[in-house]
């Protein structure tokens, strides 16, 4: 459908505004409402975690031990922050990838498969091309994005042209990605210098010119005292910049505006001159391209190679992070840091206590469910208050 | 060529088709109930995973019959979480389902360590199965196969020939009209989701207790999602899904028996997922989902 380009409609004239000071108070209360939901769901998740630990261990001392271990590994240990920043890096990227699709009202559950293919494409470009860093590294990163985009292209096309719901198709693509990965790493792309065991499969190592260094020196020059081997790469900075770019794109550009209209009111999108199908395509492909970056900190930074047993699960965590962060750039960074902290403290629980560290995975799952319920409850609360006020004013 | 035909339709393939059909059909019947009542349940895969774990655990402790019952119950309880979130709190149905699937990635691992001990986080010990029934040609068959067929007939009868089925379907087609005629939409939707969880739990229980005789992590292999595709292909009808599940079960059976030199095994393993994508591409627009599926409903609210 071809419609004239026209500027977004002017907002309707505001009814008689309350005095300015009241507006301030209202804004403050809105902020309170907005923080109430994440805060209450964090408390709820902590309560569930406590109950689970008590059910398993039946003693309150263990509870103290778990809290102590979480504190000493998550906060006190001198490398904690390096680990948390490093872990947050792929989580931020995965959260952003999911959020771009969410903004358009699309569910990209396929970040998991998209980053597998993205990491593999980057590993091929990184190990096979020969070029100076200035050309090689950007090309490798682009190859990663292209891989993720390619894997999102099929569900995007199926959705736009065949009406297939993207939830099922992206999940199917995750399984196909597994098969493709196994096939390519056990055959065409296998590093012949490595033993043939299935769990040892990997690509050839990434060239020096496509590797990304650790950010440890930078932080230590700021007064931190991280170990040189701490798992923190320059991709952390890259992820933060990506979050800022995302936030600006959503808020300040025409693309972001159209994305938001599509996500909040799909029926209004077409009449207001937004080409829905083109936007669905763009949102899904952008989401896939960003997802293609998720595996790069590991492949180009920490490991210097793509292995069959690369770290999995960031795609699913990304969904939780986008939900927890309410699809906002700042929120996603905060949620990713929280999840990274939980991952880090899981190590402490593992090493210091008898409680299985998997309790952290339960916490993360509970968090997602409680956050969506909490947002709904807070929304109702706020709506009721507003209705009351309107009545009072009348 | 004849050899390939033997591979595609031989007795061995039929036997493994039946084994693949049971969990898929059970899960799809479950999905049929929740979607006809108007609620989307993406979490069906997670409910199956809970079923696989609790089935193995129950069978290990109290025997295979109890194992299947515990599996069914676990699926129902997880479905209750989904129902409370989506029907009562009217949370986005897909978000809630995704959350349940993520829980299903972590909780069984935790439970395994607690129940089976350290170092056993991804699998259970071998668990007892039900005694099998011998069928000529096909060999030993699990009694759950017969139960599945009976449940399939029962599901068709309940949905299409009873008052309960009519009310449940009306909640998924036009909840407001249904309520004005005295149907309790909220109860119907709860019923739809809980029945769905029970079916999914039983499907998972069949996998661990009957098919494999052990719980292993990831053994469900996304069957819950394939069930959702089978539901679409079956056009939300109890009879239609029997045929669509046969098709998907057949492709899964082929991954076990099809060995062709020019196709790599990694690709054959991906076959059910690729077939699912193709089916979605071909049929998503030709079918008619329940009208109000996926829409939250607030009882008694003004229009």
Q: Please check the confidence at residue B301 and state whether its pLDDT lies above 70.
A: no
Residue B23's Cβ-side half-sphere holds a number of Cα atoms within 13 Å equal to: 33
Note the pLDDT of residue B237. Answer: 93
Helices A329-352, A314-324: crossing angle, 10 deg rounding: 130
B107 contact residues in A (CB cutoff 8 A): 361-362, 365
Contact check, Cβ <8 Å, B266/A364? no
B85 has a chain A CB within 8 A of its CB: yes
The conformation of residue B132, written as its DSSP 8-state character, comes to P
Note the pLDDT of residue B6. Answer: 61
Q: Can you give the three-state secondary structure of A13-71, one letter per residue? A: CCCCCCCHHHHHHHHHHHHHHHHHHHHHHHHHHHHHHHHHHHHHHCCHHHHHHHHHHHH
A320 contact residues in B (CB cutoff 8 A): 99, 102
- CB contacts < 8 A, A to B, total 129
pLDDT digits (tens, 9 = 90+) for A6-15: 444 544 444 5
B185 has a chain A CB within 8 A of its CB: no
CA distance A19 to A26: 11
Contact check, Cβ <8 Å, B94/A167? yes
Contact check, Cβ <8 Å, A359/B110? yes
The closest of A323, A349, A348 to A335, measured between CA atoms, is: A323
CA distance A54 to A289: 43
Distance from CA of B111 to the nearest CA of A (A): 9
Note the pLDDT of residue A22. Answer: 62
3-class SS of residue A294: coil
Q: CA torsion sign, A59 to A61 to A65 to A70?
A: positive
Q: Rounded to 5 degrees, what are φ and ψ at B135?
A: -115, 130
CA distance A136 to A211: 9
B227 has a chain A CB within 8 A of its CB: no
pLDDT digits (tens, 9 = 90+) for A254-310: 999 999 999 888 888 888 888 889 999 999 999 999 999 999 999 999 999 999 889
Who's near B242: CB < 8 A, 6+ residues apart?
B25, B152, B234
B266 contact residues in A (CB cutoff 8 A): 179-180, 182-183, 186
Q: CA torsion sign, A322 to A314 to A365 to A48?
A: negative
CB-closest option in B105, B222, B267 to A183: B267
Note the pLDDT of residue A185. Answer: 86
Let me know: does A130 contact A207? Beta carbons within 8 Å: yes
A165 contact residues in B (CB cutoff 8 A): 280, 284
How many separate helices (H) and strands (E) can be counted in chain A?
15, 0
List the single residue in A with minimal CA-CA distance to B88. Answer: A373
A24 has a chain B CB within 8 A of its CB: no
List the single residue in A with minimal CA-CA distance to B85. Answer: A373
Q: Please check the confidence at residue A252 and state whether its pLDDT lies above 90.
A: yes
CA distance B225 to B216: 19
B166 has a chain A CB within 8 A of its CB: no
| Alpha-helical segments (H) within chain B | 2-9, 11-36, 44-62, 64-83, 93-116, 143-161, 163-173, 175-180, 185-205, 223-233, 238-257, 265-269, 271-283
Q: Please check the confidence at residue A3 and state whether its pLDDT lies above 80.
A: no
The closest of A338, A362, A321, A353 to A72, measured between CA atoms, is: A353
B221 contact residues in A (CB cutoff 8 A): 175
Let me know: does B35 contact B231? Beta carbons within 8 Å: yes
pLDDT digits (tens, 9 = 90+) for B117-158: 877 888 999 999 999 988 887 778 899 999 999 999 999 999
**pLDDT (average), residues A238-259:** 95
Note the pLDDT of residue A380. Answer: 84
Burial class (CB in 10 A: 0-12, 13-18, 19+), A218: middle
Who's near B33: CB < 8 A, 6+ residues apart?
B155, B159, B168, B191, B192, B193, B195, B196, B199
Note the pLDDT of residue B8. Answer: 67
Note the pLDDT of residue A5. Answer: 45
A313 has a chain B CB within 8 A of its CB: yes
Let me know: does A157 contact A170? Beta carbons within 8 Å: no
Note the pLDDT of residue A134. Answer: 93
A163 has a chain B CB within 8 A of its CB: yes
A316 contact residues in B (CB cutoff 8 A): 101-102, 105
B151 has a chain A CB within 8 A of its CB: no
Q: Residue B94: pLDDT band by 50, 70, 90 thresholds?
A: confident
Residue from A40, A112, A159, A172 whose CB has the most chain B CBs within 10 Å, to mutate: A172
pLDDT digits (tens, 9 = 90+) for B153-201: 999 999 999 999 999 999 999 999 999 999 999 999 999 999 999 999 9
**pLDDT (average), residues A120-127:** 95
Q: Please check the confidence at residue A43 and state whether its pLDDT lies above 70.
A: yes
Note the pLDDT of residue A196. Answer: 62
CB-closest option in B91, B273, B285 to A176: B273
| Cα separation values, B283 from A164, A185, B236, B277, B280, Å | 8, 34, 12, 10, 5
A176 has a chain B CB within 8 A of its CB: yes
The conformation of residue B288, written as its DSSP 8-state character, comes to -
Give ipTM to 2 decimals. Answer: 0.87
List the single residue in B with minimal CA-CA distance to A354. Answer: B118
List the single residue in B with minimal CA-CA distance to A318. Answer: B102
Q: Please check the confidence at residue A108 and state whether its pLDDT lies above 70.
A: yes
Q: Residue B202: pLDDT band by 50, 70, 90 thresholds?
A: very high
CB-closest option in A163, A173, A366 to B284: A163
Distance from CA of B110 to the nearest CA of A (A): 5
Let me know: does A381 contact B108? Beta carbons within 8 Å: no
The conformation of residue A8, written as its DSSP 8-state character, comes to P
Residue from B31, B81, B108, B114 whose CB has the most chain A CBs within 10 Å, to mutate: B114
A95 contact residues in B (CB cutoff 8 A): none
Residue at token pair 């593999």: A120
CB-closest option in A164, A319, A365 to B103: A365
A308 has a chain B CB within 8 A of its CB: no
Burial class (CB in 10 A: 0-12, 13-18, 19+), B303: exposed
pLDDT digits (tens, 9 = 90+) for B24-59: 999 999 999 999 999 999 999 999 999 999 999 999
Distance from CA of B132 to the nearest CA of A (A): 32
Q: Residue A45: pLDDT band by 50, 70, 90 thresholds?
A: confident
CA distance A206 to A123: 6
Note the pLDDT of residue B302. Answer: 46
Residue from B225, B248, B262, B298 whose CB has the most chain A CBs within 10 Å, to mutate: B225
CA distance A151 to A315: 13
Q: Which pair of structure tokens corresponds to residue B232?
A: 């679409």
Q: Write out residues 33-52 of B within 8 Å (CB-CB) of A.
A: 42
B118 contact residues in A (CB cutoff 8 A): 356
| Alpha-helical segments (H) within A129-273 | 133-162, 166-186, 216-221, 235-252, 254-264, 266-269
CB-closest option in A158, A167, A364 to B281: A158
List the single residue in B with minimal CA-CA distance to A361. Answer: B106
pLDDT digits (tens, 9 = 90+) for A135-171: 999 999 999 999 999 999 999 999 999 988 898 899 9
Q: Which pair of structure tokens corresponds to residue A32?
A: 């309170």
Other beta carbons within 10 angstroms of residue B141's beta carbon come to 17
Who's near A314: CB < 8 A, 6+ residues apart?
A90, A91, A94, A111, A112, A115, A294, A295
Note the pLDDT of residue B65. Answer: 97
Note the pLDDT of residue B21. Answer: 96
CB-closest option in B107, B264, B270 to A362: B107
pLDDT digits (tens, 9 = 90+) for A348-370: 887 777 777 777 778 877 888 88
Residue B210's Cβ-side half-sphere holds a number of Cα atoms within 13 Å equal to: 30
B264 has a chain A CB within 8 A of its CB: yes
Other beta carbons within 10 angstroms of residue A56's beta carbon come to 17
Other beta carbons within 10 angstroms of residue B160's beta carbon come to 13
């Amino acid at each position: 459908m071809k419609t004239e380009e026209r500027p977004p409609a002017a907002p309707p004239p505001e009814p008689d505004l309350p005095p300015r000071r009241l507006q301030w108070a209202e804004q403050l209360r809105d902020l309170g409402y907005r923080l109430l939901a994440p805060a209450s769901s964090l408390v709820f998740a902590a309560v569930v975690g406590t109950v689970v630990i008590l059910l398993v261990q039946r003693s309150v001392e263990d509870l103290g031990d778990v809290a102590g271990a979480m504190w000493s590994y998550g906060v006190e240990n001198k490398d904690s922050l390096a680990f948390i920043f490093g872990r947050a890096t792929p989580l931020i990227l995965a959260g952003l990838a999911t959020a771009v699709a969410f903004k358009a009202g699309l569910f990209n559950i396929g970040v998991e498969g998209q980053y597998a293919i993205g990491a593999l494409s980057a590993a091929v470009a990184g190990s096979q091309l020969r070029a100076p860093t200035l050309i090689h590294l950007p090309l490798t990163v682009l190859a990663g994005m292209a891989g993720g985009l390619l894997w999102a292209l099929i569900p995007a096309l199926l959705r736009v042209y065949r009406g297939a719901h993207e939830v099922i198709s992206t999940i199917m693509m995750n399984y196909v990605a597994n098969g493709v990965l196994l096939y390519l790493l056990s055959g065409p792309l296998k590093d012949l210098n490595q033993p043939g065991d299935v769990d040892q499969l990997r690509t050839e190592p990434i060239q020096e010119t496509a590797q990304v260094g650790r950010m440890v020196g930078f932080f230590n020059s700021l007064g931190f005292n991280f170990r040189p081997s701490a798992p923190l790469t320059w991709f952390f900075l890259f992820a933060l910049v990506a979050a800022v770019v995302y936030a600006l794109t959503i808020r300040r550009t025409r693309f972001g505006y159209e994305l938001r209209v599509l996500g909040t009111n799909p029926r209004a999108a077409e009449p207001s001159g937004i080409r829905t199908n083109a936007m669905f395509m763009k949102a899904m492909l952008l989401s896939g391209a960003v997802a293609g970056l998720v595996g790069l900190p590991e492949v180009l930074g920490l490991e210097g190679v793509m292995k069959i047993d690369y770290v999995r699960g960031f795609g699913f965590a990304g969904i939780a992070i986008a939900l927890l962060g309410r699809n906002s750039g700042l929120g996603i960074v905060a949620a990713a840091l929280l999840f990274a902290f939980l991952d880090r403290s899981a190590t402490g629980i593992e090493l210091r206590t008898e409680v299985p560290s998997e309790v952290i995975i339960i916490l993360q799952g509970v968090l997602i469910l409680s956050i969506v319920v909490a947002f709904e409850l807070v929304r109702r609360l706020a709506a009721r208050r507003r209705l009351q006020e309107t009545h009072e004013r009348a | 060529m004849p050899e390939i035909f033997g591979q595609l339709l031989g007795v061995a393939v039929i036997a493994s088709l039946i084994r693949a059909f049971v969990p898929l059909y059970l899960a799809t019947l479950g999905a049929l109930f929740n979607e006809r009542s108007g609620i989307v349940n993406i979490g069906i895969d997670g409910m199956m995973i809970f079923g696989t774990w609790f089935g193995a655990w129950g069978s290990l402790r109290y025997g295979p019959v109890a194992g299947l019952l515990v599996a069914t119950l676990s699926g129902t309880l997880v479905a209750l979480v989904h129902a409370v979130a989506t029907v009562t709190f009217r949370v986005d149905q897909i978000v809630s389902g995704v959350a349940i699937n993520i829980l299903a990635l972590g909780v069984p691992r935790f439970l395994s360590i607690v129940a089976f001990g350290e170092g056993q986080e991804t699998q259970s010990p071998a668990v007892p199965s039900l005694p099998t029934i011998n069928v000529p040609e096909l060999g030993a068959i699990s009694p759950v196969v017969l139960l599945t067929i009976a449940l399939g007939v029962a599901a068709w009868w309940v949905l299409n020939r009873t008052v309960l089925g009519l009310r449940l379907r009306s909640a998924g087609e036009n909840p407001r009209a249904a309520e004005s005629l005295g149907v309790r939409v909220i109860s119907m939707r709860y019923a739809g989701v809980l029945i769905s969880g029970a079916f999914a739990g039983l499907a998972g229980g069949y996998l661990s207790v009957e098919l494999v005789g052990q719980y292993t992590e990831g053994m469900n292999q996304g069957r819950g999602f394939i069930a959702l595709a089978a539901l679409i292909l079956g056009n939300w009808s109890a009879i239609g899904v029997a045929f669509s599940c046969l098709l998907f079960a057949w492709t899964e059976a082929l991954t076990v028996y099809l060995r062709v030199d020019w196709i790599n095994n990694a690709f054959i393993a991906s076959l059910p997922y690729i077939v699912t994508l193709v089916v979605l591409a071909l049929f998503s627009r030709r079918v008619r989902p329940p009208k109000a599926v996926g829409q939250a409903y607030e009882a008694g609210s003004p229009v």
